[in-house]
């Protein structure tokens, strides 16, 4: 039995040898067999440094496991590497001495994290400015980033260049006064307008994805939408958010049966409604073969400038794949 808990500085594990199970196995080997990506050398060092206790006591790596033993493990996380400037072709929509508005491309991760230490928007912004942008104590690897977009979501982001601008912009997002609208293509025929309300939290079946959770679980989330255009079993929506939860639009749409077109994680990358035969089947097969992203784009961003107090609104063009899917639907999937 293995239980895991993560915090900022380390990862904690609790292992228990089942009663009646005769393991005849060393402590270091037993731990390594349970913890993914943990080398035996790393485990041995953790034991030697006192990060492993068995039944409340430290033991040697050669200790033989016994039935009922409880092993508590605390593996320190290595410090994240410093984000390095990298030359990138960023789509800068607006820039002054206080902030940058950037139109993020699909497939670009916003900030460095495990598996994506390079090639992120932060790396590109550091090169663009050749100086550290606004840093907060909790987000030292997110210079100036006020809000986020998923890797496969394109669109507008505001980036602060100093601490004062960062605090003022972040407050607008916290107070829900910033204006953000998204365009998305979804499966189904939603009403002309509507609001989806449902707490969002991690799925108990798969911790890598989010889902709508019962009352008392997850975080409160509200999504507003209106239909801009209808097709055969698909719709183009304009979406605005009251809250900014992880994967909020994609999860809320899935929950209501309006899967975001092309969304591999939440079921939008197959024909959900309408016939899947003949030329229609071939058309969608061709579309899915062409795209690698979901049809979700942060199209409009409105903020109050942190220095001038002037309201500024920016609008972005749809990315190439989004426009291609939209044009294809307009030509081949006119509503009945």
The residues annotated with a catalytic role in the active site are 150
Pairing of strands 2-6, 10-16: antiparallel
**Residue 33 exposure: Cα atoms within 13 Å on the Cβ side:** 11
Rounded Cα gap, residues 242 and 178, in angstroms: 10
- Among residues 180, 270, 202, 263, the alpha carbon closest in space to that of 233 is found at 270
Q: Is the CB of residue 66 less than 8 Å from the CB of residue 72?
A: no
Q: Is the CB of residue 260 less than 8 Å from the CB of residue 226?
A: no
| Two structure tokens written together for 51 | 């990060």
Tally of CB atoms within 10 A around 329: 22
Q: What is the enclosing helix (H) or strand (E) of 324? A: helix 320-332
Burial degree of 137 (CB within 10 A; 0-12, 13-18, 19+) = exposed
Helix axes 40-48, 27-34, angle to 10 degrees: 130
Q: Is the CB of residue 91 less than 8 Å from the CB of residue 62?
A: no
Residue 51 three-state SS: coil
Pairing of strands 210-212, 222-230: unpaired
Rounded Cα gap, residues 185 and 231, in angstroms: 10
Positive/negative CA dihedral, 254, 259, 263, 266 = positive
Rounded Cα gap, residues 174 and 147, in angstroms: 10
Residue 72 three-state SS: strand
């Amino acid at each position: 039995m293995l239980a895991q808990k993560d915090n900022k500085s380390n990862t904690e594990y609790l292992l228990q040898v089942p009663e009646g199970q005769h393991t005849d196995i060393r402590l270091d080997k037993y731990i390594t067999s349970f913890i993914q990506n943990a080398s035996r050398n790393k485990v041995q060092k953790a034991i030697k440094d006192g990060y492993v206790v068995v039944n409340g006591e430290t033991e040697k790596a050669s200790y033989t496991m016994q039935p009922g033993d409880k092993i508590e493990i605390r593996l320190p996380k290595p410090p994240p590497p410093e984000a390095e400037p990298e030359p990138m072709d960023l789509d800068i929509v607006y820039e002054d001495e206080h902030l940058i508005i950037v139109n993020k491309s699909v497939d670009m991760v916003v900030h460095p994290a495990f598996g994506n230490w390079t090639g992120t928007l932060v790396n590109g912004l550091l090169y663009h400015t050749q100086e550290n942008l606004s840093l907060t104590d909790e987000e030292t690897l997110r210079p100036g980033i006020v809000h986020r977009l998923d890797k496969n979501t394109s669109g507008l982001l505001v980036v602060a260049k100093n601490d004062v601008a960062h605090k003022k912009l972040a407050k607008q997002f916290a107070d829900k006064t910033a204006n953000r609208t998204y365009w998305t293509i979804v499966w189904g025929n939603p009403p002309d307008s509507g609001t989806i309300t449902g707490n969002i939290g991690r799925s108990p079946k798969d911790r890598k994805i989010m889902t709508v959770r019962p009352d008392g679980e997850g975080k409160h989330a509200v999504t507003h939408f209106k239909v801009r255009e209808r097709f055969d079993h698909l719709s183009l929506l304009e979406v605005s958010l009251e809250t900014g939860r992880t994967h909020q639009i994609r999860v809320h749409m899935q929950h209501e049966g309006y899967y975001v077109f092309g969304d591999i994680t939440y079921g939008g990358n197959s024909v959900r409604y309408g016939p899947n035969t003949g030329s229609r089947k071939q058309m969608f097969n061709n579309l899915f073969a062409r795209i690698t992203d979901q049809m979700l784009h942060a199209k409009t961003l409105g903020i109050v400038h942190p220095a001038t107090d002037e309201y500024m609104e920016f609008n972005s063009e749809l990315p190439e794949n989004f426009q291609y899917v939209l044009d294809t639907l307009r030509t081949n999937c006119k509503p009945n």
